[in-house]
Structure 1
Amino acid sequence: MKTATRFLVRRMRLSDIPQVLEVERQSFPSMWPPTAFRRELQQNRLAHYIVIGEANPAAAAAQSADPEPHPGPISRLLGEIKHILTGDDPASLPPPEERAELITGFIGVWMLPDEMHIVTIAVRDSHRRQGIGEMLLIAALHLAREKTQPLVTLEVRVSNDAAIQLYEKYGFEQVGRRPRYYSDNHEDADILTANAVTTGAYADRFALLREEHRVRYGDFDILDSAWHG
């Protein structure tokens, strides 16, 4: 019998938006306006957003033991009014320790005709240096391979040495630079690409790197539905 894993990689849902906004705010505090995730999920056919959820069995058990009563008409109306007023505001979330699933990070990509472009990647502050960022990159590259998209591109701050080293580990190479790309401090961005990620040679390298990640940080599950749509 397979032991339950700590982390689950899956497609982002509308109900994840408050937590994803919370992670985005932690990672990019000067970013304004925040990403319109609801529009991205519902209207942008190019966009694919993947999240990593961490299960909290104790919180899930507590919620199961004390289920919410079936709402009547007035309760449903009040709930709709609350959603209109608060929208996807992370302030409406319970404390992290009370959530049945904690979103620990997310990655967004656009599937273009000739490339898959990574548009954003972020990790919750409390889960940094736990391999989450690498797990997200693995998920994105897995998606590219599933969609038979051999070219993956991204931009990264020239000062972000740790991220650049991670990308290079997975076969990304610098092909250019965008001057003053970031609006908060006008820092330049390196343009990185990984070619031929659908080849057999890359598959061998990818499998080895994923195994190294598993040995260091533990296994994680990927829902097949994360790659469809």
Structure 2
Amino acid sequence: MILDDIPRVHEIDVLSFSLPWPEKSYLFELTENPTTLALVAEITTPDSRPVVIGMAVVWIVIDEAHIATIAIHPEYRGHGFGKKLLTETLRQSIQRGVILATLEVRENNKTAQQMYKNFGFNNIGRRLRYYKDNDEDAILMTLDDLGLQYLAWLDKLGV
């Protein structure tokens, strides 16, 4: 992710979440937060123009990665782009020495929960009334034992 991506990233955030981050949060992550790994997923249009269709922000502290946000533009969901973005997010985190990944996901977002489970994340608990727009619980998920074996498994997925 680069500064020029922020308007499109924010658009994806607004279309994906009822509590989107303000644009200035992405600016902070890119310019001031040394723990941030920020990625975008892009496709190339028929006229050879790159278009951002997804984004992820991860905070890496020592050997842990917290996936703070990850989303694919609604028009591009269901085509494997989320799996590709999550794969690259985990791959780059492992390359930075991460051995544990964490995230929160809305209790009613069963599609995302299933994708995370398919990648080996485990449900370890919940944060009650975490989402302030509707007091929905967040499901806490973790993925541990990240390393070379997990990278090899990601390679076998062929995502």
Could you state the TM-score of these two structures normalised by the residue count of structure 2? 0.92
User: Any conservation in 2 of the 1:56–1:102 contact (CA below 8 Å)?
Assistant: yes
Q: Which residue, out of 30, 34, 41, partners 2:22?
A: 34
**Of Structure 1 and Structure 2, which has the larger fraction of its residues in helix?**
1
Larger relative contact order (CA 8 Å, sep ≥ 6): 1
Is 1:103 matched with 2:92? no
Please list, as runs of the form range in 1=range in 2, the aligned pairs for 1:87-166 lying within 5 A after superposition. 100-166=49-115
User: Any conservation in 1 of the 2:14–2:20 contact (CA below 8 Å)?
Assistant: no
Per-residue CA distance 1:72-94 (angstroms, 9 max, x = gap): xxxxxxxxxxxxxxxxxxxxxxx
Is 1:14 matched with 2:3? yes
User: Any conservation in 2 of the 1:110–1:119 contact (CA below 8 Å)?
Assistant: yes
User: Any conservation in 2 of the 1:178–1:188 contact (CA below 8 Å)?
Assistant: yes
**Of Structure 1 and Structure 2, which has the larger fraction of its residues in strand?**
2
- Find the counterpart in structure 2 of residue 49 from structure 1: 38
User: Any conservation in 2 of the 1:144–1:197 contact (CA below 8 Å)?
Assistant: no
Q: CA RMSD in A?
A: 1.5
Please list, as runs of the form range in 1=range in 2, the aligned pairs for 1:200-215 lying within 5 A after superposition. 200=149, 202-209=150-157, 211=158, 213=159
Structure 1 residues 32 and 105, CA gap change in structure 2 (3 angstroms)? closer
User: Any conservation in 2 of the 1:54–1:104 contact (CA below 8 Å)?
Assistant: yes
CA distance in 1, matches of 2:129, 2:10: 25
Please identify the structure whose Cα radius of gyration is greater: 1
User: Any conservation in 2 of the 1:181–1:189 contact (CA below 8 Å)?
Assistant: yes
Q: Which blocks of at least 5 consecutive residues in structure 2 are unaligned? A: none
How many aligned positions are there? 158
> Any idea what SS the aligned residue of 2:136 has?
coil
Q: Percent identity?
A: 37
Structure 1 residues 135 and 102, CA gap change in structure 2 (3 angstroms)? same
CA distance in 1, matches of 2:57, 2:4: 16
State the 4+ residue runs in structure 1 displaced beyond 4 angstroms.
none
Q: Which blocks of at least 5 consecutive residues in structure 1 are unaligned? A: 1-11, 61-99, 214-229
- Find the counterpart in structure 1 of residue 120 from structure 2: 171
User: Any conservation in 1 of the 2:41–2:52 contact (CA below 8 Å)?
Assistant: yes
1:57 to partner: Cα distance: 4.5
CA distance in 2, matches of 1:155, 1:147: 21
Structure 1 residues 117 and 33, CA gap change in structure 2 (3 angstroms)? closer
CA distance in 2, matches of 1:44, 1:38: 9
1:113 to partner: Cα distance: 2.1
CA distance in 2, matches of 1:204, 1:119: 25
Per-residue CA distance 1:125-154 (angstroms, 9 max, x = gap): 211111111111101110122112110000
> Any idea what SS the aligned residue of 1:190 has?
strand
Could you state the TM-score of these two structures normalised by the residue count of structure 1? 0.65
